[in-house]
Amino acid sequence: MKMLLVRKFRVLILMVFLVACTMHIMIDLLPRLERRGTEGRPGCSCPPPAAAPPRAAPRWPSKHTLRILQDFSAEPGSNLSSQSREAAERAAGGGGGGGGGAAGGGGGAAAARTRRLIAPGAPRPPPPAAAAAAPLAALFQHPLYRAALPPLTDGDLLFNVNSDIRFNPRAAEQPEWQNEDNEEFLPTGETSIDSYPNWLKFHIGINRYELYSRHNPAIEALLQDLVSQKITSVAMKSGGTQLKLIMTFQNYGQALFKPMKQTREQETPPDFFYFSDYERHNAEIAAFHLDRILDFRRVPPVAGRLVNMTREIRDVTRDKKLWRTFFISPANNICFYGECSYYCSTEHALCGKPDQIEGSLAAFLPDLSLAKRKTWRNPWRRSYHKRKKAEWEVDPDYCEEVKQTPPYDSGTRILDIMDMTVFDFLMGNMDRHHYETFEKFGNETFIIHLDNGRGFGKYSHDELSILVPLNQCCRIRKSTYLRLQLLAKEEYKLSLLMKESLLKDKIAPILYQPHLEAMDRRLRIVLKAVSDCIEKDGYDNVVENDFNTDVNTVTTER
C-alpha cells in the first residue's frame, strides 16, 4: 500500500512537470502564431498592404576585424562588452547617431543612401559655403594651411588597405570575437572603405606625416560618433595616476574617458606640484583643437560628452572594482571614484547632477598588435621630485649634448621636439615626460601628442621653463614659425580662432575666457624667443626651411 502511494505521488509530480513545460511552450509560440495570423489576415476581406521593397543590409566588416584594430592592449578588462539595460536616447531635433544608431529622420537616411550610390570617380557635391566672417574658415584657406605632403608610398602608410594581406584573426587573441562564419575580412578598395565605421577610417588615414589629413570628412564624423554612439561597455584603464575609463561603443570603437574634476574658471592652486595637478577633461578637448589650428594634426580626435553615470557607466560595466565604488551622496547625487594612484577616494569622488557628468572622449589609436608604437623619454623631462632638478635645468648647454644623441643627431626629431615645446607652452602643460611614435616609420616621422590633461591649469601665470628647449636649441621649422606669426595677426588671432573652433563641441564653452587671452600672450612670448635666437645666431641657423619650393606652391617636407 505504501509503495502504491509513492508511485502515485511520483506520477503526479511528473504530470505537473509536463503541464508546466507545455504551458511554457505555448507561451513561447503564441506571439509567433499571432504574428503569422496577422500577416495572413484571416477573416479580413481587406487587401494586404503592399510589401516594402527589400532593403539591403550595409556591408560591415566582421566584428573580430573591427575589434582587433582598437588599442585596448593595456587593459584586458576593456575587451569585455555588455548590452545596455535601456535603449539609447535619441538625439533631439533629428540629430543623427553614430554608425550603430538610427538616423534622425527619413531625409537623413535617404541622403545617406544617396551618398553610398556615388561612384568612386564621380565628382562629390561641394561643401556648404562658410560664412565670410568666419576667421577659422579663412585660416584653413590660407596658403600655409594648404601645403601638400610629399607623395605617399606604401611605406608611408600605416595600413595599406589595397594589399592582399588579410587581417590575422589571432592578432588580438580574442576568440570570442571570431566571425560566426569563421571568415576573415579583406579590405579590397574604396567601396569597402565606405562601409567602415569612422574610427576605422581614421586609423586607415594615418601616415608617416600626420594622424589625419586637413579635410578628412571621417574626422568630423568621428567626433560626432564620440558624443552620440551608444556605450556598451566600460572598464577602468590600468596604470596612470588618476581615474580614466575605457568606453566601448556599439560600432566596436573605443575611446578614453576623462571625467570632469574642475570647473572652467578654477586654476591650479599655486602650491600644487605639476605631477600632482588634476587632469582636466576640457584641456584634452582644447588641446585637440589647438593642435589642429597649429596645423600639427598629431592629437587623436577628442570630443566632450555628457554621460549618464547610471545608464552609461554603472549599468554596463563588468568591472566589479569600478562598480563597487558607486554610491549616493547626501545631496542624492550619484557618485563613484574607482581605483587609481591619486584622487580615487570618497573624499575625491566624481559626482553627477544628479547622475549626469561631463567628460572628454579621446579616440583610440590602432591596436598595438597591428601598429606598434615606440615610447621615448623626453630629453627635457622634469625630475618629478619635490627637491631635485633635472639636468637641463642646471646646464645651459644641455641641447648641444642632446643634438649629438640619436635620434636627435639627424632627421627632423629635434624640430618635432620644438613643435611640441611650443604646443605645450601655449597650453601651460608641464607634464610631458614621454612621447610616442609609430614604430613602422622609424625615426623619420612625427611625435604623437598624447595625454594633454594637465594643460590649461593656470591662466594668470606663464611657465617659462616649458620654453627652455626652444631657448637652448634655437631651432624651429619655417612652416611653424610662419604659422605662429600668422596667428599673432589681428585677423587670425589665436584666441578668436580657438573660441570659434571650441564652440563646435557639445559641452561648449570649453575654456574660460582668461585662458584664451593667455594663449595670445604666450604666443607673443614664443615669437620673442625665436626673434632673440635669430638675432643671436642668424635666420638661416635658427629657422629650418621645410618647404620644398616657394610657400605659395604649398609643398612641404615634414
For the ranges 85-89, 111-115, 507-511, 545-549, the maximum mean pLDDT occurs at 507-511
pLDDT at 47 over 70: no
> How much is the pLDDT for 557?
61
pLDDT-derived band at 179, boundaries 50, 70, 90:
very low
Look at residue 19 in the predicted model and tell me its pLDDT: 85
Grid coordinates given for 76:
584586458
Q: Is the dihedral of CA 236, 239, 241, 247 positive or negative?
A: negative
For residue 364, give the 3-state DSSP assignment: coil
Q: What is the pLDDT of residue 45?
A: 43
Residue 31 is predicted with a pLDDT of 52
Q: Which residues are 422's β-sheet partners?
A: none
Residues 6 or more apart whose Cβ sits within 8 Å of residue 65: 167, 179, 184, 185
Please give, one letter per residue, the 3-state secondary structure of 258-301.
EECCCCCCCCCCCCCCHHHCCCCHHHHHHHHHHHHHCCCCCCCC
pLDDT of residue 202 exceeding 50, the answer is yes
pLDDT at 175: 37
Residue pair 316/231 in contact (Cβ under 8 Å)? The answer is yes
> In this predicted structure, what is the pLDDT of residue 133?
55
pLDDT at 16: 86
Specify the range with the lowest mean pLDDT, choosing from 113-122, 338-347, 493-502.
113-122
Q: How many CA atoms lie within 13 A of 48 on its CB side?
A: 10
Dist. CA 234–CA 316, nearest whole Å: 6
The Cα 198–Cα 327 span in angstroms is 36
pLDDT at 239 over 90: no
pLDDT digits (tens, 9 = 90+) for 317-336: 999 999 999 999 999 999 99
The pLDDT score that the predictor gives to residue 343 is 85
Please tell me the distance from the alpha carbon of residue 152 to that of residue 157, in angstroms, as a whole number.
Answer: 7
Q: Is the pLDDT of residue 88 over 50?
A: no
If pLDDT is split at 50, 70 and 90, which confidence band does 185 have?
A: very low
**What's residue 549's pLDDT?**
55
Q: How far apart are CA 141 and CA 93, in angstroms?
A: 32
With 60 as the cut, is the pLDDT of residue 102 above it?
Answer: no
Secondary structure (3-state) at 360: strand
Q: What's the average model confidence in pLDDT over 170-193? A: 43
Residue 273 pLDDT class (50, 70, 90 cuts): confident
Q: Residues near 160 by Cβ (< 8 Å), separated by ≥ 6?
A: 154
Query: For position 240, what pLDDT does the model report?
Result: 75
Query: Own/partner pairs for 431-434, CB < 8 Å, 24+ apart?
Result: 431/274, 431/275, 431/277, 432/378, 432/380, 432/381, 433/377, 433/378, 433/381, 433/382, 433/384, 434/375, 434/376, 434/377, 434/378, 434/381
Confidence of residue 63 (pLDDT cuts 50, 70, 90): very low
Quote the percentage of the chain above a pLDDT of 70. Answer: 73
Q: How far apart are CA 217 and CA 202, in angstroms?
A: 10
pLDDT at residue 355, rounded to an integer: 93
Catalytic residues: 431
Segment holding 12, helix H or strand E: helix 2-40
**Which pLDDT does position 550 carry in this prediction?**
52
For residue 466, the tally of other CB atoms under 10 A from its CB is 22
Tell me if residue 18 falls in helix, strand or coil.
helix
Q: pLDDT > 90: what percent of the chain?
A: 61
pLDDT band per the 50, 70, 90 thresholds, residue 54: very low
Mean pLDDT of 511-523: 97
User: pLDDT tens digits for 28-44?
Assistant: 665 555 445 544 444 44
Range among 20-24, 33-37, 128-132, 483-487 with highest mean pLDDT value: 483-487
- The number of helices, as runs of H, and strands, as runs of E, in the chain is 16, 12
* pLDDT tier, 80 (very low <50, low <70, confident <90, very high otherwise): very low
| Residue 328, strand partner residues | 334
If one compares 181 and 223, the residue with the highest pLDDT of the two is 223
Please write the tens of the pLDDT for every residue from 354-398.
999 999 999 999 999 999 999 999 999 999 988 899 999 999 999
373-377 and 434-438 strand pairing: antiparallel
Q: What does the pLDDT read at residue 94?
A: 40
pLDDT of residue 17: 84
Check pLDDT > 80 for residue 295: yes
- The CA-atom distances, in angstroms, between 417 and each of 99, 284, 527 are 37, 20, 17
Work out the angle at residue 224's Cα, subtended by the Cα atoms of residues 122 and 323, and round it to the nearest 5 degrees. Answer: 145
Over residues 243-260, mean pLDDT? 96
Complete DSSP assignment for 394-440: T-TTHHHHHTTSTTTTSTTHHHHHHHHHHHHHHHT-----EEEEEGG
- The values of phi and psi at residue 120, to 5°, are -60, -35
CA distances from 68 to 161, 204, 213, 443, 451 (A): 15, 13, 23, 26, 23
Q: What is the pLDDT of residue 556?
A: 61
Mean residue pLDDT of the chain comes to 80
pLDDT of residue 144 exceeding 50, the answer is yes
Alpha carbon distance 206, 370 (integer Å): 13
How confident is residue 218, by pLDDT bands cut at 50, 70 and 90?
Answer: very high
pLDDT digits (tens, 9 = 90+) for 489-498: 999 999 999 9
pLDDT attached to residue 313? 97
Q: Does the pLDDT at position 183 exceed 60? A: no
Place of cell 565604488: 325
Phi, psi of 427 (to 5 degrees): -90, -20
The pLDDT of residue 278 is 86
**What element of type H or E holds 248?**
strand 245-249
Query: Which pLDDT value is given to residue 32?
Result: 52
pLDDT of residue 107: 41
CA-angle at 94, arms to 88 and 99, nearest 5°: 55
Kindly report the backbone phi and psi dihedral angles of residue 287, in degrees, each rounded to the nearest multiple of 5, phi listed first: -65, -40
Number of other residues whose CB lies within 10 A of the CB of residue 267: 16
Query: Of the given ranges (32-46, 73-87, 436-450), which has the lowest mean pLDDT?
Result: 73-87
Q: Which three cell numbers stand for residue 23?
A: 504551458
